[in-house]
Amino acid sequence: MTKLPLNEIFESIQGEGSFTGAPSIFVRLQGCPVGCAWCDTKHSWYLSEEHQTDFNSVIAKAGDGESWCHTTVGELVAHLLGYKARHIVISGGEPCMYDLVELTDALYDNGFTCQIETSGTFEVKVNERTHVTVSPKVAMKGGYEILDQALIRANEIKHPVAMSRHIEELDMLLARLSPEQLAAKKVYLQPISQQARATQLAIDTCIERNWWLSIQTHKYLAIQ
């Protein structure tokens, strides 16, 4: 029986990328070795036994916290059916550390649509209908490389930017795709931490390249 490490579940509005504005249930898995300096969910990095608890305690907690639990696909899906939204966003942490085929199969079998957000540093193992958002994390502290498999599987590539070198990094990643593979994807630029200079760089580059802008609207709205 597959068990997954769960950090939290909450219902909100998707604030980024192709599904911006969609009522969504966020399923945050625990564990991430990538080490992004600007990460705003560092509480989900470590699988510490000290913070391991039970399912009911995890789903009852409010806000950020290092507590986590192991859950089964059956237990998780049964709980998700109690929410209004029918779009699931699986995030982390780094969710692609885990084989998510069983979970995403079960979500589609129960009438959900599903999206996964990944750094692109682990092989993506999900139901073929799953919308895959790769937000490439290049040259992070953990030393992980972006995988071709993740780039090819991506439905959208949403790249965090703060300075020109981040655009150059993205160009190098996109050059690894064939013209046909690239044409099948949306490319988004997402300013890091809503910095004014980063936002203007993203706007200017999107206009120049015919890419899309992703603004973290949930942060402007002050919602989770």
Instruction: Report the alpha-carbon angle 19-86-150, nearest 5.
Output: 50
**Which strands form 69-72's sheet, in the order they lie side by side?**
69-72, 3-13, 23-29, 87-91, 113-118, 131-134, 156-161, 186-191, 212-213
pLDDT for residue 75: 97
Domain-by-domain residue ranges, the chain?
Answer: 3-159
Task: Check whether 64 has a pLDDT greater than 80.
Answer: no
Task: Write down the CATH number for the domain with range 3-159.
Answer: 3.20.20.70
Taking only the tens place, the pLDDT of each residue in 162-199 is 999 999 999 999 999 999 999 999 999 999 877 789 89
Taking only the tens place, the pLDDT of each residue in 70-120 is 999 999 999 999 999 999 999 999 999 999 999 999 999 999 999 999 999
Share of the chain above pLDDT 70, in %: 94
10 Å CB burial of residue 162 (0-12, 13-18, 19+) is: middle
Taking residues 134-152, report their average pLDDT.
89
Task: Check whether 220 has a pLDDT greater than 80.
Answer: no
Neighbours of 153 (CB within 10 A): 22
Which residues, listed in sequence order, are joined to residue 89 by a DSSP beta bridge? Answer: 26, 115
Task: Check whether 222 has a pLDDT greater than 80.
Answer: no
pLDDT for residue 184: 94
Taking residues 1-22, report their average pLDDT.
92
pTM: 0.93
